[in-house]
Structure formats: structure tokens, C-alpha cells
Structure 1
Amino acid sequence: MNYKKILDNFDVSAQGIWYPIGLSIILLIFVLFMPKKLTWKEIYITFGVVGWLATITDLTFGPNLDFFDLGTPQHEGIGDIISYGIIPALFAVIFLNYYKKEKKWRFVLIFIVLSLLAHWIMVQVGFMKEHFWKVGYDIPVFLFVYRVFLPWHLRFIRNA
């Protein structure tokens, strides 16, 4: 078995790969040990839906629009999978766990800032190379996700 080829296929030598791996581990540990206001079923569904939507969105728009590259350009690796499918899903679970309708704007703004910070650090460590897309362009996307989609998503799960 050629282990070097396997590691190359996972793109584990990409610059800054430690950041998405480390962030996902920290977020996962946080989710596992946070006081739960969500049920495990809600966590499971949210993780799956958000991870799937983020990955599908990237696969649909990423190659066609070429806004940015993660890791080694033109090579999907473990960092890409974590960055698209796991980190957004963990942020969504944490957001919904602490979300309170009466303080919605506070939570929305906190998670927009946290998400922008995560994006910015990904650029600073060299894992993300921006072409057209820049750190701030995410704000309307994050605003929609945190203000509209995730609260609707939780209501949908609870009313289904």
C-alpha cells in the first residue's frame, strides 16, 4: 500500500491544513460538552442538513465561479471536506443550541462575527486563497443563514 499517495490524495500537506482540522476538533468537543438545549435528534438533523447544503453549494458554485481555493488548487482533500461539510454544520448546531428568539439579533451578530473570523483566519494561515471572494462578502450569506434559514430549520424539525 502506498501511504504517500493516500496522504497526497487527502491533501494533508496543504498549507494551513492544521487550521480547519483544529477548528473542527475544537467545535466538535464544544458541541459534545455544551449544555444541550437541542435534542440529539435535532443536532443530528442539523449537522446533516447544513453539512450537505454547504457541500452541495460548494460543489455547484465552486468549480464554476472559482471565487477561492482551499488547500491545493484543483485538488479536493480532507481540509475541503472539513471546511465545507463539518465546520459550518458545527457552527449551526452551536448557534441553534444557544439561540433565543427574544435575543435573536445578538446571536445572529455574534455568529456572523465568529464565522467571518473563521474565514479570515483561514486566509491568514494560507489555507484559503481568495480570487474574487473576500472576507466581508460572506455577510449577506451569513445573515440569511443565521437570521432566516437556521431558525426556520429548527421550527421545521420541531413541528414535523
Structure 2
Amino acid sequence: MSKQLIIFLLGSYLFIGVIFLIMPKRLTKQEIYITWLIVTVQTLIADIFLGEILDLYDLIKDEGDLLIDLIIQITLPAFFGILYMNFMPREKIKFIVYFVFWVFFSVTYETLSVFVGYVNYKGWNIWYTIIFYIYACLYMRWHYWFIHRGNKNHAM
């Protein structure tokens, strides 16, 4: 793994870790747990299907880094997903601005990931990335609504 990639990944974890420490927690522990699982499963399914089966991209080029790649896949996207959910506004107008910010942030982050060598496009392109993050952010909006609705229906 290149020094540039290691710095990028450590910086990403440091950035998200500091935010997690200082952010007001608006999600319950159960919501964080459920979101962690959902984001991780979606990440793994997408990377297996799009990256391995369709061979549109690779993550970390070195074969010896498969365990590191797996750890990244089950942690970093989930951290960002929880952060996204934690601050998501309920009002539609505010959500639209929030949504546009997160799609832009996600596409920019993936572009940096390509630049430092974490992601290697083979048949993938930036337009697919934009579409994917539009879907992911809208799905997480639905997920937010679904788990909050479920919590209210099962309140004791």
C-alpha cells in the first residue's frame, strides 16, 4: 500500500472519529446499530457485484491487502452513513440542500479515493458514481423514515 493511500485512510478515520466524538448524538444506539449493518451489507453487496462479478473497479490493488480492504469496507462507509443519518433534516426543503451536499461530498471523496489508489476504475466512470450516490442518499432517507416509523409503532 502506498504512503499516500495510508495517509488518506488514516486521515479519513481521524476526520470521521473527531466528528463522532464531538457531534450531538441524534440517533439511538439501536438506530446506529441497524444503520451500521444496512450500510455494511449494501457496501459489500455493491462491491461484490459491481467490483468482482462485473469487474468494473478494484479496491486496493495489492492482493495482500484483502483483510485491510474488508475492514475498510465494514467500517468507513458505515461511519459516513451514520454521520449522514445523524444530521439528516426532516423538512423536505432542508433535506434537498443536505442531499445535494452529501452527493457532492461522496463523489468528491470517491474521486480522491481514485487519485490515491484505493479505487481503480476499470469499466466504471464518474456518472455511475453520481447515480449510485443519488440512490444511496435517497435510500438512506427512506431507511431513516422506516426505522423511525418502526420505533414509534413499537414504543412501549
TM-score, normalised to structure 1's length?
0.79
Q: What fraction of aligned residue pairs are identical, expressed as a percent?
A: 28
1:124 matched to 2:139 = no
1:81 matched to 2:71 = yes
- Aligned in 2, Cα 1:77/1:135: closer, same or farther, shift over 3 Å? farther
1:127 deviates by 2.4
Asked if 1 retains the 8 angstrom alpha-carbon contact of 2:61 and 2:120, the reply is: no
1:138 deviates by 1.1
Structure 1: state its 5+ residue gaps.
1-12
1:23-61 alpha-carbon deviations (Å, 9 max, x no partner)? 133213312321112122211211121112211221233
Residue 24 of structure 2 aligns with which residue?
35
Task: Identify, as 1 or 2, the structure richer in helix.
Answer: 2
Residue 10 of structure 1 aligns with which residue?
none
1:110 matched to 2:101 = yes
1:25 matched to 2:14 = yes
Match of 1:157 among 141, 147, 156: 147
1:113 deviates by 1.0
1:90 matched to 2:75 = no
Match of 2:40 among 51, 56, 72: 51
Letter in 2 for 1:58: D
1:139 matched to 2:133 = no
Residue 154 of structure 2 aligns with which residue?
none
Letter in 2 for 1:56: I
Q: Larger deviation: 110-119 or 133-142?
A: 133-142
Q: Larger deviation: 68-77 or 101-110?
A: 68-77
1:51-99 alpha-carbon deviations (Å, 9 max, x no partner)? 12211221233211111112125552313531x3222212211111111
Letter in 1 for 2:111: W
SS in 2 for 1:101: coil
Q: Which runs of 4+ in 1 moved over 6 A?
A: none
1:75-129 alpha-carbon deviations (Å, 9 max, x no partner)? 52313531x3222212211111111132111111111111111101111112222
Structure 2: state its 5+ residue gaps.
151-156
1:132 deviates by 1.2
How far apart are the structure 2 equivalents of 1:119 and 1:140?
13
